[in-house]
Amino acid sequence: MSRAYNFSSGPAALPEPVLQRARDEMLDWGSARASVMEVSHRGKEFIALAEQAEQDLREILAIPAGYKVLFLQGGATQHFAQIPMNLAQGRASDYLVTGHWGEKAVKEAAPYTSVQVVANSADSKFMQLPPRAQWKLDPEAAYFHYTPNETIAGVEIHEVPDVGNVPVIADMSSTLLSRPIDVSQFGLIYAGAQKNIGPSGVVVLIVREDLLERCPKSIPNIFNYAAHAKEGSMLNTPPTFAWYLAGLNFQWIKSEGGLAAIGERNRIKAERLYGYIDGSGFYSNPVEIAARSWMNVPFRLPDEALDAAFLKESEAAGLLALKGHRSVGGMRASIYNAMPLAGVEALIEFMKDFAARKA
C-alpha cells in the first residue's frame, strides 16, 4: 500500500477507519441491498442515517437546545452570500477580517448587507491579529462575522470575541471539530466539510433558532435557511454520500474519546511542530505566537531556492501536499484530526534531515 501522510489543506486526509468502513460498505450498505449512493434520501435507511449523524454531532459538540443543525450544499463560499441574505434584514453587519477567507466573506456579503469592517490585519500580511482596542464594533449590527481559523496564513483566534448582544457568526471551515467549543456563544456556525468533517460537497451549519425568524420570505426557498430547517435539510436532494461519510467521521470522533481527546492530540501535534520550527535555526513561522493555528502550520525555508527540492524530496519520503498557498509561498502543513502524531513526527524527522544536508 502506498498511502502517504497527507498534509493537504483541503480536501484533506480522512481517518483511515472511516475510509475502510466506507470501502467495506460500498456495494452493500446496511439493509439497503445497494450502495448508500444508490438509495432515496427519503427512504427509511437514509433518514435513519441522517438522524444518527445529527444526533452524533449534537453529542460531540454538546449543542444546546434551541439550535438547528443543517447539512447543506454550496461550500462555505455560497454561505458567505447566503448569511446576509437570510440574517441582515436590511441592516449593516460587522466583519472582522484576519485573512483571505474573511476578505472573501466581505466581498460576497456586500450585495446583501452594508458591510462594516470592524478591523483588518491586511497591513501585517495577516501575520498578526488586529489589536482588540482598535476594533470598531457597532452594537446595532445585524451580526458580527469572523473566521476563527484562517487556513492560508495559519492564523487562529483562540477566544470567541465578546461583542455584547450582537449574534456571533463564525466560518469554522478549518477548525470545527478540532477541539471542544461552547456553541452557546454563537448565533451561527458554518463549515465546509472537507477538512475535519468529511469529503467536500456538504456544509454543516448550526444556527440559533430565533435567528431563523429573520429569514425573509422574499428570497428563493433554496437559499432560505428557515425553509431548509423546516424540511430537515431535505428541501431538495442532499449530498447523500458526503453526509454518510460525515456521519462515519462523527462516529470515529466518538470512538476516539470525543473532542476533549481529539483536542488534546491536536494541541500536542501543533506544539511539537511549532517547537521544532522555532528551535531549528533553519525554518521559520512568521505568525504572532498567540495567534498560531493548530490546524494549518505555514513555514518558510531560509532561501526560496530550496523550496522545489524540499517539495520533491518530501513527496518522495511519503509526505504529501506541503506546498504553501500561492499568496503566502513557502510551505504549509495542515494537521487536521486525521493526521496522527506519527505523521507530524515523520515530517519533523524529514525536516531535520533536510536542514542538516542544506544548512
Nearer to ligand PLP, 116 or 200 (CB): 200
- When asked if residue 11 is in the footprint of ligand PLP (CB under 6 A), the reply is no
What whole-number distance in Å separates Cα of residue 322 and Cα of residue 311?
A: 7
Helix (H) or strand (E) holding 93: strand 92-97
Q: Which residue has the cell 477567507?
A: 101
Instruction: Please pick, from the candidates 130, 154, 192, 239, the single residue that binds ligand PLP as defined by CB under 6 A.
Output: 192
Please indicate whether residue 294 is annotated as part of the active site: no
- When asked if residue 141 is in the footprint of ligand PLP (CB under 6 A), the reply is no
The 3-state secondary structure of 302-351 reads: CCHHHHHHHHHHHHHCCEECCECCCCCCCEEEECCCCCCHHHHHHHHHHH
Closest approach, Cβ 173 to ligand PLP, in A, equals: 4
Please indicate whether residue 101 is annotated as part of the active site: yes
Cell output for 199: 469529503
Could you tell me how many residues of this chain bind ligand PLP (CB under 6 A)? 11
Q: Considering only 75-83, 135-143, 248-256, 316-324, which stretch makes contact with ligand PLP by CB under 6 A?
A: 75-83
Please indicate whether residue 269 is annotated as part of the active site: no
- When asked if residue 178 is in the footprint of ligand PLP (CB under 6 A), the reply is no
Nearer to ligand PLP, 94 or 150 (CB): 150
Closest approach, Cβ 220 to ligand PLP, in A, equals: 19
Separation in Å, CA 207 to CA 11, 188, 190: 24, 4, 8
Q: Which of 257, 252, 297 is nearest to 273 (CA)?
A: 297
Residues 85-104 binding ligand PLP (CB under 6 A) are 101
CB 49 within 8 A of CB 234: no
- When asked if residue 75 is in the footprint of ligand PLP (CB under 6 A), the reply is yes
Cell output for 283: 525554518
What whole-number distance in Å separates Cα of residue 344 and Cα of residue 270?
A: 9
Residues 150-169 binding ligand PLP (CB under 6 A) are 151
Q: Classify residue 35 as exposed, middle or buried by CB count within 10 Å of its CB (0-12, 13-18, 19+).
A: middle
DSSP state of 159: S
- When asked if residue 171 is in the footprint of ligand PLP (CB under 6 A), the reply is yes
- When asked if residue 302 is in the footprint of ligand PLP (CB under 6 A), the reply is no
Contacts to ligand PLP by CB under 6 A:
10, 75-77, 101, 147, 151, 171, 173-174, 192
Task: Give catalytic residue positions.
Answer: 101, 171, 195
